[in-house]
């Protein structure tokens, strides 16, 4: 039997976050250097990222979520607007933001998002160092 969206989404996000945390550990990122936030839905992700980017405390940000396709156009609107908002934050603040809103079939994307964010943060630091 298919799981309801209310049950499936938290399970999918939990798996994505688990893989992301595994990748952080593999890359040697300390737990105390990571901030985890939870928001009500995908459309709230960009605002939370904006608040974090405004603080100037983060080298990179990662957005992990799940938008589940239903029988309406709502999926496309939520997916597109959330992704656009995440990109706006990255461009406005110059902070690398890796975004993964994928389903269980792509569960390793959480770890990939971490790799991308860290790679971009290191690239940014390298560029800043060259400009000095």
What are 125's two structure tokens? 């630091």
Q: Enter the DSSP assignment of 4.
A: P
Q: Enter the DSSP assignment of 12.
A: H
Side-chain-side CA neighbours of residue 112 (13 Å): 8
As a whole number of angstroms, the distance between CA 42 and CA 63 comes to: 9
Concerning whether 74 is annotated as a catalytic residue, the answer is yes
- The residue annotated as part of the active site, out of 36, 69, 74, 122, is 74
The residues annotated with a catalytic role in the active site are: 74
């Amino acid at each position: 039997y298919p799981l309801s969206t209310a049950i499936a989404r938290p399970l999918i996000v939990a798996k994505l976050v688990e893989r992301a945390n595994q990748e952080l550990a593999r890359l040697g990122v300390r737990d105390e250097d990571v901030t985890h936030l939870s928001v009500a839905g995908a459309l709230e992700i960009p605002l939370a990222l904006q608040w974090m980017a405004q603080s100037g405390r983060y080298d990179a940000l990662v957005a992990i979520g799940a938008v589940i396709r239903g029988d309406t156009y709502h999926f496309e609107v939520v997916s597109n607007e959330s992704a656009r908002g995440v990109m706006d934050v990255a461009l406005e603040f110059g902070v690398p933001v890796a975004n993964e809103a994928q389903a269980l079939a792509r569960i390793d994307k959480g770890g990939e998002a971490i790799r991308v964010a860290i790679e971009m943060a290191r690239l940014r630091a390298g560029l800043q160092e060259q400009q000095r």
